[in-house]
């Protein structure tokens, strides 16, 4: 399968990067919390995650990752998905959203620690 020009590709399979990744699929991607800082403090992720609450900073961050996925997250995944769609449309193919957001990540980490 050929890679699409606006989508990052997995180096081994050359498959396009999906628009959403589950917590199990994060891999080497950089996870970024896009919620406002006050909201992020109210329900923090159970792992260290940088907070980038200004969407205008995300294109520069996406370019700095040399094609590795920039995985956006919010509380439930809705806002991060919308932001990922906008960034993909602007040509940043390595951007995707964490499916289920912080809630899914925390549930996954809690289950994995048992």
CATH code of the domain containing 24: 3.40.250.10
For the chain, the C-alpha Rg in angstroms (whole number) is 14
| Predicted pLDDT at 41 | 87
Segment 59-64 shows an average pLDDT of: 91
**Structural domain span for residue 75:** 20-112
* pLDDT reported for residue 31: 93
More confident call, 52 vs 5: 52
* Dist. CA 98–CA 74, nearest whole Å: 8
Note whether 20 and 96 are within 8 A (CB): yes
For residue 9, tell me if it sits in a domain. Answer: no
Residue 103 falls inside a structural domain = yes
Confidence of residue 42 (pLDDT cuts 50, 70, 90): confident
Domain assignment present for residue 14? The answer is no
Please indicate, yes or no, if residue 6 is contained in any of the structural domains. no
Count of the separate structural domains present in the chain: 1
Question: Does pLDDT of 4 surpass 50?
Answer: no
pLDDT score recorded for residue 15: 67
């Amino acid at each position: 399968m050929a890679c699409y020009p606006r989508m990052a590709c997995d180096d081994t399979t050359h498959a396009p990067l999906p628009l959403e990744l589950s917590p199990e699929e994060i891999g080497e991607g950089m996870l970024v919390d896009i919620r406002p800082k006050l909201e992020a403090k109210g329900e923090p992720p159970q792992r260290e995650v940088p907070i980038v609450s200004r969407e205008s900073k995300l294109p520069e961050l996406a370019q700095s990752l040399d094609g590795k996925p920039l995985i956006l997250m919010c509380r439930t995944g809705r806002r991060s998905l919308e932001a990922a769609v906008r960034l993909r449309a602007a040509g940043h193919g390595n951007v995707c959203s964490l499916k289920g957001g912080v809630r899914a990540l925390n549930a996954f980490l809690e289950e994995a620690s048992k």
